[in-house]
Structure 1
């Protein structure tokens, strides 16, 4: 069985190792590169996802969130700031280097009200009990898994009935004239930024290619439904550069 790794086709069992090497190489500059590549827009997109989550502010409520592929803690810290509950935010990532960055950032948080814990885990095999979490978030990570159907099935498994699934991912530009500019920027400027800021252009060439091979919002929504979720909704951001997919475990 084969799958895409950027514009290349590779055996499915090889993709995860290739992805791991990409993120291990860029972990120390990952958040800085996100700012540079998006002009800071990734912050607003993540804020929008967490706001749509609408996590509770009831101190006696037990509320557990799993943030997958969130190694540096960027989404998890936003979720933790927005809830006041008895519970925790678990950050799962397959890259030890990304998790190390997140743990260092976590140590600098001031008076956190909701704890975050960092766990090395594959999105396709989460070390969590069935129906153990209230919400599952993943930002810019689902396109990097080797088998999306397996990762979506895992999301469904770990969520309780009525639990929330939220995925923020790059999408397809839907503004006339913007697509050509976006392509030129992506394929020329972003690898050059990677070389200048992170010291390596190749990982960012892969990331740009992986965006182009990811399904459009309608097709991805259908994949979420096939995993057993219902009430699937999509919000396009910044002219379709990114999209948030929301669903519930029925």
Structure 2
């Protein structure tokens, strides 16, 4: 049995990946949102708006925003009146999120340091589970999907926003050059850290294809799964229901 997992283009032991991913996000936490703007030209904000529109958060319902770190998704859902628990394995990312919430005067969010593969929440607790640009950094994705299914109520919905591989001819080649050559340089210039952003780009390349990931979501027990590609699949919204 192969007990190694991918860390970018490397194969490492699971515990080593967890440690190294933690170090990556501790390193980039303070500059994470600035870098998102720089790398996507601000488009990540539109993707997140579209994602939350698909989730349709409702007043009073309980939502778990996993890998929610700096609060981008949670702030949007809380504005709709949902009761949001923001969870992340990295306390440095959560600290940035708490600080941002205080600056914006956003109250009522619950902040909880959690490993997506081993959540401490009781089964059938949440109406919805969201994870944006976080699932590819999980050491064992199948474990995280199983936990997402467990903590959702019957009738609960799962939504994931994640990078994938664009299927648009021409754009794919341009993006490959941009991401591999320029993103690490942008990371060095803005965050003083080229290596962390090199890993983040490599992790996108190692992530399963849209059909393969949809299959993993179904294997975790979700039904009525759907994939909504954005920019030809550069980014995709995955969804499923627990019945």
Tell me whether the two structures share a fold, i.e. TM-score over 0.5: yes
Separation in structure 1 between the aligned mates of residue 18 and residue 48 of structure 2, nearest angstrom: 25
1:56 shift after superposition: 1.9
Structure 2 counterparts to residues 119-158 of structure 1, below 5 A = 119-158=112-151
2:166 to 160, 163, 173: 173
- Equivalent residue number for residue 228 of structure 2: 235
- State whether residues 75 and 106 of structure 2, in contact with CA within 8 Å, keep that contact through their aligned partners in structure 1: no
Task: Map 1:39-188; keep pairs closer than 5 Å.
Answer: 39-57=41-59, 62-82=60-80, 84=81, 88-110=83-105, 112=107, 115-188=108-181
Q: Which residue is 1:194 aligned to?
A: 187
Q: Please list every run of 5 or more consecutive structure 2 residues that lacks an aligned counterpart in the other structure.
A: none
- Paired residue secondary structure (1:244): strand
User: Structure 1: which 5+ runs fail to align?
Assistant: none
Q: How far has the Cα of 1:238 moved from its partner? A: 1.8
Matches within 5 A, 1:13-24: 13-24=15-26
**Compared CA separation, residues 19 and 111, structure 1 to 2 (3 A):** closer
How far apart are residue 13 of structure 1 and its match? 2.0
8 Å Cα contact 1:99/1:118 also seen in 2: yes
* Structure 1 residue 117: Cα displacement: 1.4
Question: Structure 1 length normalisation: TM-score?
Answer: 0.94
Question: Matches of 1:229 and 1:168 in 2, distance apart?
Answer: 16
1:15-34 equivalences in 2 (<5 Å): 15-34=17-36
Tell me the matched-pair count: 241
Corresponding residue number in structure 2 for 1:5: 7
Q: Give yes or no for contact 1:27–1:98 (8 Å, CA) kept in 2.
A: yes
Cα distance in 2 for partners of 1:150, 1:227 equals 9
In structure 2, the residue corresponding to 1:108 is in which secondary structure? helix
**1:71/1:118 contact within 8 Å kept:** no
Question: 4+ residue runs of structure 1 moved beyond 4 angstroms?
Answer: none
In the aligned structure 1, how far is the partner of 2:58 from the partner of 2:112?
24
> How many Å apart are 1:109 and its aligned residue?
2.4
SS for the counterpart of 1:215 is coil
User: Once the 2 structures are TM-superposed, how far is the Cα of residue 26 of structure 1 from its aligned partner?
Assistant: 0.4
